[in-house]
Amino acid sequence: MFDINALDRIVKETLEAIERSKNQIYDIAENSRLELIRVSQELNEVKKEVSEIIRQVDKKALIEKRARARLMEVSKDFQRYTEKDIKDAYDQAYDLQVELIKMQEKEKLLRFRRDHLETSLRRLNATVDRAEKLVSQVGVVLNYLGGGLQDLGSKIGEVHQAQQMAMSIIKAQEEERKRVAREIHDGPAQSMANIVMRADYCQKLLDLHPDKVRGELVALQELVRSSLTDVRKIIFDLRPMVLDDLGLAPAIKRYLSDYNDQLGVQIEFLFIGPQKRLESSVEVALFRIIQEAVNNIRKHARAKSAIVKMEMLPEKINIYVKDDGTGFDLNKVMADGERDGYGLIGIRERVQLLKGEFNITTAPGRGTSIGISVPVDYN
């Protein structure tokens, strides 16, 4: 079967993965931006140094040029200048040349550094741009997906609920079938087998002791009559025809008076309001609910007295089923793992399908009271 939980998990994980990538891209953009600031600061410094060194190189080149001119002049005129003058002029020109070369070297390095920084800056700018665009794109995608997927999430929830409800309806139907099968097997089916046997016996008796046949036939008649009652009861439980013919309140009244005849406990029926017909499916559902609650009283409550109260109001119907019996631990009974019956769950689901409210008040030794309220639309 298609696993809704797995899909839900995948959707959540996908959203988380996208959110994580968004954060990662955001980090990359942030780091690049910081690097960009550092590089542009350094570039500014280097640019300043470059123009400073150019200025210094120009100045030095001028001085060096003059020193070379002086050296030429001094070395041409041996009469005016001594050997020391020439040597000094030479030394000076040489020193200046060395200094100039050093400074030119430095200028070259600085220019190279500047070009490199400019390239880095361009690259970083592009990275930041791209990352920012990506962050906003992922943001849009995430919002879009988030909205859509959340919607999907709630849809999945609804489908899930519907699926579970369908499952428990099927389960309840299966339980009901089992119950009917058991009732037919234990009641009418056994009686029939018995009847066949006794009819057989009557036949034999006819030859041997014709005088005893009458008595036997009376017993046989009694047996048939009681299985007929059983069959009628099973049919009534399956689909109370009186419900279709007369409506909810008379059907419940009939059901309870049959019950009271059979059982020790007297279940009182109180009806308030005008007797109006409801949609057939609603009547059946409410009848089943009361039937189950009364069955539970019979099976579990050991009550001295009980009451079924039905109140037809203009827009809703309230039903109370209350007994003074043993009561029970509600949390334990409704806990998923420990449940062994489907009656109360069935009531809850029927009420849910009717968009009504359902509550149970009970505790061990305190009796049980079931309250149901469903909105109705009278025909």
Ligand X SMILES: Nc1ncnc2c1ncn2[C@@H]1O[C@H](COP(=O)(O)OP(=O)(O)OP(=O)(O)O)[C@@H](O)[C@H]1O
Task: Supply the minimum distance, in Å, between the C-beta of residue 172 and ligand X.
Answer: 9
- Which CB sits closer to Mg ion, 343 or 367? 343
CA distances in angstroms from 91 to 4, 65, 84, 102, 291, listed in the order given: 93, 14, 10, 17, 125
Nearest by Cα to 50 from 108, 124, 127 = 108
Nearest by Cα to 32 from 119, 139, 136, 123 = 123
Q: How many Å apart are CA 205 and CA 207, to the nearest integer?
A: 5
How many residues sit in the footprint of Mg ion (CB under 5 A)?
3
Place of tokens 């000076």: 92
Stretch that binds Mg ion, among 181-189, 220-228, 236-244, 293-301 (CB under 5 A): 293-301
Stretch that binds Mg ion, among 184-192, 197-205, 231-239, 337-345 (CB under 5 A): 337-345
Residue 333 touches which member of Mg ion, ligand X, none, C-beta under 5-8 Å by kind: ligand X
Task: Supply the minimum distance, in Å, between the C-beta of residue 228 and Mg ion.
Answer: 27
Q: What mask, x for binding Mg ion by CB under 5 A, covers residues 15 to 34?
A: --------------------
- Which CB sits closer to ligand X, 197 or 363? 363
Residues at the contact surface with ligand X, assessed by CB under 6 A = 296-297, 299-301, 323, 325-328, 333, 340-345, 368
Residue 3 touches which member of Mg ion, ligand X, none, C-beta under 5-8 Å by kind: none
- Which CB sits closer to Mg ion, 103 or 328? 328
- Which CB sits closer to ligand X, 283 or 323? 323
Residue 328 touches which member of Mg ion, ligand X, none, C-beta under 5-8 Å by kind: ligand X
Q: How many Å apart are CA 267 and CA 305, to the nearest integer?
A: 6
Q: How far apart are the first and last CA of the chain?
A: 40
Task: Supply the minimum distance, in Å, between the C-beta of residue 255 and ligand X.
Answer: 16
Task: Supply the minimum distance, in Å, between the C-beta of residue 7 and ligand X.
Answer: 32
Task: Supply the minimum distance, in Å, between the C-beta of residue 196 and ligand X.
Answer: 31
Sign of torsion, CA 223 229 230 231? Answer: positive
Among 296, 362, 368, 369, binds Mg ion (CB under 5 A): 296
Task: Supply the minimum distance, in Å, between the C-beta of residue 352 and Mg ion.
Answer: 18
- What does 212-277 look like in DSSP terms, one character per residue? HHHHHHHHHHHHHHHHHHHHHHHHHHH--HHHHHH-HHHHHHHHHHHHHHHSSSEEEEEEES----
| Crossing angle of helices 210-238 and 248-262, rounded to 10° | 140
- Which CB sits closer to ligand X, 59 or 299? 299
- Which CB sits closer to Mg ion, 227 or 368? 368
- Which CB sits closer to ligand X, 74 or 286? 286
User: Residue 166 class from Cβ within 10 Å (0-12 exposed, 13-18 middle, 19+ buried)?
Assistant: exposed
Give strand pairing partners of 371: 320, 359
Whether the Cβ atoms of residue 269 and residue 293 lie closer than 8 Å to each other: no
Among 188, 240, 327, 343, binds Mg ion (CB under 5 A): 343
Q: Give residue number: closest CB to ligand X.
A: 341
Whether the Cβ atoms of residue 292 and residue 299 lie closer than 8 Å to each other: no
Determine the length of the chain.
Answer: 379
356 binds Mg ion (CB under 5 A): no
Residues in contact with Mg ion by CB under 5 A are 296, 341, 343
